[in-house]
Amino acid sequence: MELKILKPKESALVSKITVHKTGKLGFSKGAMEQLELESNKFCKFGMNKEGELFIIVSNEKDNETYNVAKAGDYYYVSAKALLEDDLDIDYRSKNTTIFDLFKTENKKIMKMIKRVITK
């Protein structure tokens, strides 16, 4: 029997953003790589008409961008108002909210799919 072997194409690193109890959005190593946060120091969040959430990274600041900060080896965004007012997420909850990131046709824009781990 002859088989065509399918090689793994995915990154070994998970690409996600986790909501911290402090109201910060923390980026996983996979997300940091995919979003190229070492050079993209700013981001925006947006929704399409279907209500799907997206993150857009940029190396230029404007009046709609959030600063991407670095602490040690990790990057984060302070986003209390975004979480509470725009996304209706209680970041102080015992539950853990995570956004899995998925590529779009534009390298600087990724779709954010929310999942909640209840405790």
pLDDT in tens, the chain (119 residues): 898 988 876 656 789 999 999 999 999 999 999 999 999 999 999 999 999 999 999 999 999 999 999 999 999 999 999 999 999 999 999 999 999 999 999 989 999 999 999 98
Residue 94 in domain: yes
Cβ-Cβ contacts under 8 Å for 70 (sequence gap 6 or more): 76
Residue 10 in domain: no
Residues 61, 100: Cα–Cα separation, whole Å:
25
Residue 8 in domain: no
Residue 102 in domain: yes
Residue 44 in domain: yes
Residue 51 in domain: yes
pTM of the model: 0.87
Residue 5 in domain: no
**Domain span holding position 62:** 16-117
Q: What are phi and psi of 117, to 5 degrees?
A: -100, 110
Residue 11 in domain: no
Q: Indicate the number of domains in the chain.
A: 1
